[in-house]
Structure 1
Amino acid sequence: MAFEVLLDQVGSLGRFQILQMAFFCIIIAVMYPHVLLENFTAAIPGHRCWVHILDNDTVSDNDTGTLNQDALLRISIPLDSNLRPEKCRHFVHPQWQLLHLNQTFSKMSEPDTEACVDGWVYDQSFFFSTIVTEWDLVCESESQKSLVQSLFMSGNIVGSLIYGYLSDRFGRKIICSWGLLQLAISGTCAAFAPTFLIYCSLRFLSGFCMISTLGNLFSLAIEWTNHQSQSMAVILLSCACSAGQMLLGGLAFAIRDWRTLQLTMSIPMFVFSLSSRCTVESARWLIINNQPDEGLKELRRVAHINGQKNTEETLTIEFLRSTMQEELDKAKTKESVWSLFCAPKLRMRIICLSFVNLATSLPFYGLILNLQHLGGNVYVFQVLFGVVTLTGIFVAFWTTTHTPRRLSQMSFMFLVGLSILVNTSLDQEMQILRVALATLGAGVLSAAASSQAVYQSELIPTIFSLRSTIRGITTIFHMIGAALAPTLMTLTNYSPHLPWITYGVFPILAGLVVLLLPETRNLPLPNTIQDVENE
């Protein structure tokens, strides 16, 4: 590419790139946990109905003397099918006769019980407070937890469309700074939200700036790195996302109050927003958007940081214009979305890639946003999932280097679907095996997403405007999958296995769709629509 000639003049892998990458990795490691906050801030602790005779320190006597808490619980709360206290119902009147029975009734007639009317009592051994305990989002209101997560992901979709356009219009740097500031303000205000409705609105605003800010950070890192090192840059930034998952697990274990945790993850964003003003704008974006003087200034700034001398003599505005002329001419040719879909082969690629993106994000977010459904210690799961997603990134890097693209992508998708479907068929008592399969699924999903990014970049034309448009389309489908993932959990009202079956079926279908795409390993990249059509 023409810009790489300029990049070689100022240093394509020097001190500037190292400092930039370190700064971006720190931002992403602290920023990414905002996607997963509801694993802890909206965790559902053990709960039961508040009962006057049990929770108002009332002492009751009968023929046997003073009753203990277990006896009071037995006469106040019915048992479910697993012989555990019901979470959402209690006896209308104390069932004293149960104290004199040698066996326990697991079922009571409907008139003898009623839904909780005086609130709930929550187990605080794992979570001191969450939005669930704050606003009683249990029983009939339990689906509202999924509503919060869906709103956050919906904010990602809307924000990626609006901020994606604004970043192409006004630059990567300013949108990054504004996105970090918006996340800081909305996240901090969410920690003090007085009502559930206000909290939902603030989480929507947090999601609004999340994906666009992450995307711009990735773009800035890639656009200041030569082609040979871009894959490594993406891997390092993706590793920062995994590090963020582990960081969240540790902080959530130490901070059990949801408001304090929300505030702890939001305050650093103010610092990052101010610090990001010192970052360097993409010179390539400046040049393509008819700001060559500003682009030249940024190139010389990078050259100075990298210790390149005499760049003012060699790096001139005339040299810049002559080097970038061909790319500037291509950038002036704007292809409409309709023209992309008029080309049969390119249209098929876009449709297939969009479905694969949706089918990858749907189970991925279904797993990482619902760690509590796996049982056990959610803090350990969060750290464990961070470790396996990190491992999955390096597995993807190895497979894309040594195996055909299509074969590795299909294998990953099939393995993901099978691990989720087998997990769904296992009994709850087989906890270790269920956790192992869920962990395997998360790791393979991470590998699938990473290899998909490489495969997609080799399937779409290299012209800047075409590539940006197609990536925008596939990103929207990725975010649609992310928004649908928590929404599907509401299907547990009909069947506890239905959401997980859906999470498992989609990757298998995506693996079959990959068969419709061509192999790209060790083949030249297409530059135009005609290159794709004539292949």
Structure 2
Amino acid sequence: MGFSELLHTIGGMGNFQILQTALIMFPTILITCHNFLQNFTAMTPEHHCRPVNWTNGSQVPGGVRDGDLLRVFIPLDKDQKPERCLRFSEPHWQILNLNGTSSLNLDTEGCLDGWVYDQSVDSSIVSEWDLVCDHKSLKSIAQSIYMTGQLVGAIIFGIFSDRYGRKRVLQSATVQMIAVGLGAACAPGFPAYCAFRFLSGMAMTGIIVASLCLTMEWTPTQRRTLVNTYAMYMITLGQVILSGLAYFIRQWRWLQGTVSVTYVIILLYSWGLPESACWLVTHNKLDMAVKNLRAVARLNGRKEQGRKLTPEVVSFHMQEDTAAVKESPFFLDLFRTPGLCKVTCCIALGWFSAGFSFYGLALDLQKFGFNIYGVQMLFTVMDLPTKLLAGLSMGYFGRRITVVSLLLLASCMILVTTFVPQDMNTFQMILCLFGKGSLAGCFSCLYLYTMELFPTEIRQIGMSAGIFSTRLGSLLAPLIYILGSHSPVLQPVMFGLMPILAAIAASFLTETNNQPLLDTIQETEKRTLGQLPLLLTIHLKYSNGFRFIKLGGECLRVL
């Protein structure tokens, strides 16, 4: 449309766009670090009850080894390991005289004096605040509180971004992230930690939606898929960097603080970024838009073309768009028209399902029983080929069929784990690898697809609706772990069925491949209501082909 022509005039994918695309690596890397940070700051070390006081050495019979001594105080579980949440109410030295485990029915009690943790695992919030046994659900609740912050931030920062600009939201959210991230690192107790993590989740959403939208609105139509794929690879790189940081920084407070303070990089370079000219034009701030367009033209080597741009020229190009834009967009605008309501509901279900199942697989890596650092790295590496395939598929087959295919593939991988025996950890992990990889590829498509589906005047709110939905899903995912402790089959069934529902909804979305970004709700309504669902489109495509072949056969028979 009008703004696409302006971008082409000032150089298209020029030096400025390349530099801005390179700078987006910092928000995407750091956002991923915060999302998966609790995999390392909340690791659960091996632990058992602190034994009943036996410090008086005269109470210990001679010749007793330290390895046998624990059996006197702590009962063994079915795997012949010390129980994590039970101890004998008093020492039972007679156990040492029995071969194997004792069959006596001895009195036990809870961990009245606290726990003893494996010292090979450095500090975590679990060992510092005893989030084990009856309090183990608090670990999942802490992650859900962080996701709730993202959910709230998606609403607040989305509205602010469409009203006050992308750049202003990026800067304010970055300042908030630095402050509350360092606050979480210094939290004196678990409630304070959860409060700071809630605010961190809010700030994280503001940073990611503002930075991605700012970049995409300066990117020409033909290069949006490439830029989006690059951003998604930066998310994967963030997981690799987090694994490396967590390996070398074992103290959870130092790890939390290190990740948070690096947001200073975003704050420093954000002052030099120009506000989105697309947003400025659609909000009738033509003088500032012309100034930014001329600056970009200068960086792209199109100084002469930039000089020709005036408020009158820009207004002429986009007069229809600016006339239809609402002054103060609000969240309810997403449901203003039937076509826009359909887009919002379908894309929101896709985001919800991807977030629900993705974080359901990614936030409980300790269950496989392998080294947490190695498993995190393996799950991250698996994202690389799936994101590449997703990028290629988006360009060749389109956004819609790519999203539907990846959701169905992820669903199959997750549901198969339901029938895999619990002792086959390696096979379960491989299936989860493919499932998480498919969902990672789906995320890379959803980020681009959502921005293409919504018009400029409510694009940030539409993007925030998607982020809101995925954070709602990721908020519920840790709670499924709590229910899954009572019914293990519930986890894979819940995480596997949601992508199927999302795939059905995504088939009703509009294809946007090689289509220009729309600026108004009216334009979106025309394009949305004029396209058929995916399955019907495929049916008609092949039906027409078969009719053509049949007609050709009839003609040959007549001749």
TM-score above 0.5, yes or no: yes
Which of 182, 187, 193 lines up with 2:181 in the alignment?
Answer: 187
- SS of 2:116's partner is strand
In the alignment, the residues of structure 2 paired with residue 261 and residue 24 of structure 1 have an alpha-carbon distance, to the nearest angstrom, of: 23
State how 1:129-528 maps to structure 2 within 5 Å: 129-311=123-305, 313-332=307-326, 341=335, 347-403=341-397, 407-453=401-447, 460=453, 463-465=455-457, 467-515=459-507, 527-528=523-524
User: Residues 486 and 171 of structure 1: is their aligned pair in 2 closer, same or farther, counting only changes over 3 Å?
Assistant: same
User: With structure 1 as the length reference, what TM-score do the two structures score?
Assistant: 0.91
Cα deviation 1:54-103 (Å, max 9, x = unaligned): 6x4846443xx321112111111111122221001111111222112223
Contact 2:162 2:329 in 1 (8 A): no
User: Residues 450 and 29 of structure 1: is their aligned pair in 2 closer, same or farther, counting only changes over 3 Å?
Assistant: closer
Match of 2:84 in 1: 87
User: Residues 154 and 18 of structure 1: is their aligned pair in 2 closer, same or farther, counting only changes over 3 Å?
Assistant: same
How far off is 1:519 after superposition?
Answer: 6.6
User: Residues 530 and 192 of structure 1: is their aligned pair in 2 closer, same or farther, counting only changes over 3 Å?
Assistant: same
In the alignment, the residues of structure 1 paired with residue 275 and residue 476 of structure 2 have an alpha-carbon distance, to the nearest angstrom, of: 34
In the alignment, the residues of structure 2 paired with residue 411 and residue 58 of structure 1 have an alpha-carbon distance, to the nearest angstrom, of: 66
How far off is 1:495 after superposition?
Answer: 2.4
How far off is 1:219 after superposition?
Answer: 0.8
Contact 2:408 2:503 in 1 (8 A): yes
- SS of 1:423's partner is helix
Contact 1:88 1:116 in 2 (8 A): yes
In the alignment, the residues of structure 2 paired with residue 530 and residue 13 of structure 1 have an alpha-carbon distance, to the nearest angstrom, of: 28
In the alignment, the residues of structure 2 paired with residue 247 and residue 467 of structure 1 have an alpha-carbon distance, to the nearest angstrom, of: 31
- SS of 1:310's partner is helix
Q: Tell me whether 1:34 sits opposite 2:34 in the alignment.
A: yes
User: Residues 27 and 50 of structure 1: is their aligned pair in 2 closer, same or farther, counting only changes over 3 Å?
Assistant: same
Name whichever of 134-143 and 522-531 sits farther off: 522-531
How far off is 1:520 after superposition?
Answer: 6.8
Contact 1:172 1:281 in 2 (8 A): yes
Match of 1:47 in 2: 47
Name whichever of 397-406 and 364-373 sits farther off: 397-406
State how 1:15-26 maps to structure 2 within 5 Å: 15-26=15-26
> Residue type matched to 2:82 in 1?
P
In the alignment, the residues of structure 2 paired with residue 525 and residue 179 of structure 1 have an alpha-carbon distance, to the nearest angstrom, of: 26
Cα deviation 1:243-268 (Å, max 9, x = unaligned): 10000001101111101111111111
User: Residues 504 and 226 of structure 1: is their aligned pair in 2 closer, same or farther, counting only changes over 3 Å?
Assistant: same
In the alignment, the residues of structure 2 paired with residue 220 and residue 85 of structure 1 have an alpha-carbon distance, to the nearest angstrom, of: 54
Q: Tell me whether 1:529 sits opposite 2:521 in the alignment.
A: no
User: Residues 34 and 324 of structure 1: is their aligned pair in 2 closer, same or farther, counting only changes over 3 Å?
Assistant: same
Which of 110, 114, 119 lines up with 1:115 in the alignment?
Answer: 110
Cα deviation 1:2-57 (Å, max 9, x = unaligned): 11222223222122122212122133213320111100001111111111456x48
Structure 2: state its 5+ residue gaps.
532-559
Name whichever of 490-499 and 355-364 sits farther off: 490-499
User: Residues 104 and 210 of structure 1: is their aligned pair in 2 closer, same or farther, counting only changes over 3 Å?
Assistant: same
Name whichever of 177-186 and 387-396 sits farther off: 387-396
> Residue type matched to 2:115 in 1?
W
Cα deviation 1:485-519 (Å, max 9, x = unaligned): 12222213422342333112212333344455577
> Residue type matched to 1:6 in 2?
L
In the alignment, the residues of structure 2 paired with residue 515 and residue 4 of structure 1 have an alpha-carbon distance, to the nearest angstrom, of: 27
User: Residues 294 and 529 of structure 1: is their aligned pair in 2 closer, same or farther, counting only changes over 3 Å?
Assistant: same
Contact 2:221 2:517 in 1 (8 A): no
- SS of 2:33's partner is helix
In the alignment, the residues of structure 2 paired with residue 104 and residue 85 of structure 1 have an alpha-carbon distance, to the nearest angstrom, of: 11
Structure 1: state its 5+ residue gaps.
none
Name whichever of 239-248 and 341-350 sits farther off: 341-350
Match of 2:545 in 1: none
Q: Tell me whether 1:4 sits opposite 2:10 in the alignment.
A: no
Contact 1:246 1:384 in 2 (8 A): no
User: Residues 58 and 88 of structure 1: is their aligned pair in 2 closer, same or farther, counting only changes over 3 Å?
Assistant: farther
User: Residues 301 and 521 of structure 1: is their aligned pair in 2 closer, same or farther, counting only changes over 3 Å?
Assistant: closer
Contact 2:451 2:462 in 1 (8 A): no
Contact 2:178 2:261 in 1 (8 A): yes
Cα deviation 1:413-460 (Å, max 9, x = unaligned): 2321222232244334322212211211111111222334455566x4
- SS of 2:325's partner is helix
In the alignment, the residues of structure 1 paired with residue 126 and residue 493 of structure 2 have an alpha-carbon distance, to the nearest angstrom, of: 26
In the alignment, the residues of structure 2 paired with residue 360 and residue 376 of structure 1 have an alpha-carbon distance, to the nearest angstrom, of: 25
User: Residues 408 and 278 of structure 1: is their aligned pair in 2 closer, same or farther, counting only changes over 3 Å?
Assistant: closer
Contact 1:60 1:67 in 2 (8 A): no
Name whichever of 248-257 and 418-427 sits farther off: 418-427
> Residue type matched to 1:501 in 2?
V
- SS of 2:70's partner is helix
User: Residues 448 and 36 of structure 1: is their aligned pair in 2 closer, same or farther, counting only changes over 3 Å?
Assistant: same
> Residue type matched to 1:206 in 2?
S
In the alignment, the residues of structure 2 paired with residue 402 and residue 534 of structure 1 have an alpha-carbon distance, to the nearest angstrom, of: 22
Cα deviation 1:358-411 (Å, max 9, x = unaligned): 111101011222222232111112222222223221111122233465554333
In the alignment, the residues of structure 2 paired with residue 326 and residue 343 of structure 1 have an alpha-carbon distance, to the nearest angstrom, of: 19
In the alignment, the residues of structure 1 paired with residue 181 and residue 311 of structure 2 have an alpha-carbon distance, to the nearest angstrom, of: 43
Cα deviation 1:100-140 (Å, max 9, x = unaligned): 222314x764x611110111111132x31001111111111
In the alignment, the residues of structure 1 paired with residue 31 and residue 512 of structure 2 have an alpha-carbon distance, to the nearest angstrom, of: 34
